[in-house]
């Protein structure tokens, strides 16, 4: 089974760095083990490379920060978007060229969506220029990394082991 992880973010927009940080950390963790075979992508919102990555794998995890303004900063959500779109309240404005939800729906329309597509997102507090994460995002970053790594481990075992 082909497994991929895409960390989406803007390295110069505070909490929006989240997906990039997660992808870099998980790349190092995966390199240190033989339990997971996965391709890890860091994407700054380029729709062409995002669509290309989505079309290459049977299972995919996307990690991105969100600014829904309805959740507490640092709150983590796991959403299976294999069959249904992201909830509309999570389709807030993006600092990327194209939002993750727009890319997912375009891939769905083009028939290029992976069989399994899981989105992990964390509510951010700051999206202004800068590289410093807000305290709530910094505090929950290790938990998010652990959750995504666990999901990757399950997906790497194949669908029969994944609930």
3-state SS of 94-122 is: CCCCCCHHHHHHHHHHCCCCCCEEEEEEE
CATH code of the domain containing 74: 3.40.50.1450
Q: Which of 125, 121, 22, 17 is nearest to 73 (CA)?
A: 125
- pLDDT given at position 159: 59
- pLDDT given at position 21: 97
Q: Do strands 116-123 and 76-80 pair parallel, antiparallel, or not at all (unpaired)?
A: antiparallel
- pLDDT given at position 157: 84
Question: Total structural domains in the chain?
Answer: 1
Sheet with 76-80: strands ordered across: 39-43, 3-8, 59-66, 116-123, 76-80
CB 151 within 8 A of CB 118: yes
Q: Which of 119, 123, 128 is nearest to 50 (CA)?
A: 119
Distance CA 101, CA 111 (A): 15
Name the pTM for this structure: 0.90
- Which structural domain, as residue segments, surrounds residue 77? 3-161
Mean pLDDT by 10 residues, the chain (163 residues): 91 94 95 89 90 93 91 95 78 58 89 94 94 96 97 82 44
Length, in residues, of the chain: 163
Distance CA 12, CA 10 (A): 6
- What is the rounded end-to-end Cα distance, in angstroms, of the chain? 16
3-class DSSP state for residue 93? coil
Concatenating the DSSP letter of every residue in 68-90 gives -SSS-TT-EEEEE-SSSPPPGGG
- pLDDT given at position 162: 44
């Amino acid at each position: 089974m082909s497994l991929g992880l895409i960390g989406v973010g803007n390295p110069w927009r505070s909490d929006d760095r989240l997906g990039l940080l997660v992808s870099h950390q998980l790349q190092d963790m995966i390199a240190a083990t033989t339990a997971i075979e996965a391709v890890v992508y860091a994407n700054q919102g380029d729709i062409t490379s995002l669509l290309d990555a989505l079309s290459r794998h049977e299972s995919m995890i996307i990690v991105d920060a969100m600014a829904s303004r309805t959740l507490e900063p640092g709150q983590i959500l796991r959403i299976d978007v294999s069959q249904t779109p992201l909830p509309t309240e999570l389709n807030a404005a993006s600092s990327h060229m194209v939002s993750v939800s727009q890319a997912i729906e375009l891939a769905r329309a083009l028939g290029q969506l992976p069989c399994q597509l899981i989105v992990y997102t964390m509510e951010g507090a700051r999206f202004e220029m800068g590289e410093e994460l807000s305290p709530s995002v910094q505090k929950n970053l290790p938990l998010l990394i652990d959750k995504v790594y666990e999901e990757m481990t399950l997906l790497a075992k194949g669908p029969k082991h994944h609930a």
